[in-house]
Structure 1
């Protein structure tokens, strides 16, 4: 049982108070707990999210145990760029989540991979996954089909010996043609869904090169030296050029689309067994290409 005491002047909404105190809960979870009569205030069940707390009110609840998540094979179309007995390279479409999680228990890239390929991995939620790209970012991912491949690919990520290049449409124009963004990343203090530049964060380095400039926007190539959560999106916002269409880090007035205009275009790595260098590139989605044409026009 969790017990929270509201101490403050005036009144505050019940759902807002719990959200501020319990960073591990999403707002949708809090709303559901309240509506399902899971939360009491001063031992009285409250079912209204907008209930106003006053100084001294005691809020009590128990977080229901979540059902265990396990990825299951699903017959979902998969764009396979390369496959052998050890590795799989796929082109993930925009809008697809990489692996199951509380809000996405199926319909993910992992569900599709398990249907199309045999993956020998004890991880029941993220079998074969060694790196990720965001739901609304499209492009290339390497997948390990066995333990040898997984260890090798993870080591290459750690040693920064692989190649990951992106293309993006970003806001604004640049004075410089190339640059390096070296700014540490960590969870934002005011929003747990966001990352931010923080002094005590993890090292994050992004290289950028301007490919083409338009009125109010630019097409850039981005190379990851590290691979932190939302790294490119936060770094581009940090230098004043947020990714167009980014709902978290970009402005509201932006290009119409289905999320951020960010595409993992090129992927290179050493094959885990043969040690041959493999490198792949895929075109950006149709909406990305059409938007670039419109900007040129």
Structure 2
């Protein structure tokens, strides 16, 4: 969705950012690519750590933004747990050196800077003000005319936790994994055959059409039987098949088939992977 910004001031703009990102960033550099007065969303990066090459960090960040089609401007918001420091010469905002590098790279890339803001635990301010002052966090509020998008109060880590799995389910998947590895890799019980455990026939059937199997996983990821989960894990442990899954889930079933053919040809005779497949791993190309 393209959002037309109608922010009356920087505080109102900060109220829009979580909606564009889908969460409230923390310890992050957020870049918003603009086409004129419009922006399609937000791009989040971890703040640089001590010892980070800030020039390389800024160059990479601006390079990512510039790849968004039609981008001619950028806004930057730094969310930090550090406080601003008052000095005799004025307020010093956290990560100011990094921000200077980033804005310099943006100008070198021909991008207009819409705004550059900093949100700290105690307030917010602007990097581009000659004499920055700390504004109250209460000034930041979500505009009432913005379409509802659900709860965006959590940070970027919300939803990243692994689900709690029943111990019995873990045991079933683990047992199925051992048996599958014994059948396919000759590990452990090397004499195991599908006749001794007929359920393994199902795994062999799944592996006859790997792209179709990967596609079926998307249909009901929470309802996979233990043997299907074990089969998926077996695939993802192998770089050739893992890359097929990554490319297919980033594109479509046809993309998975192309990637499997390319990976198989490379493994068999060293034939180079086609550019259309390689571009997917570089994050280029049409969206799914």
- Structure number with the higher strand fraction is 1
TM-score tier after normalising by the smaller chain length: under 0.3
- Structure number with the higher helix fraction is 2
TM-score under structure 2 length normalisation: 0.25
**Structure whose CA Rg is larger:** 2
TM-score under structure 1 length normalisation: 0.25
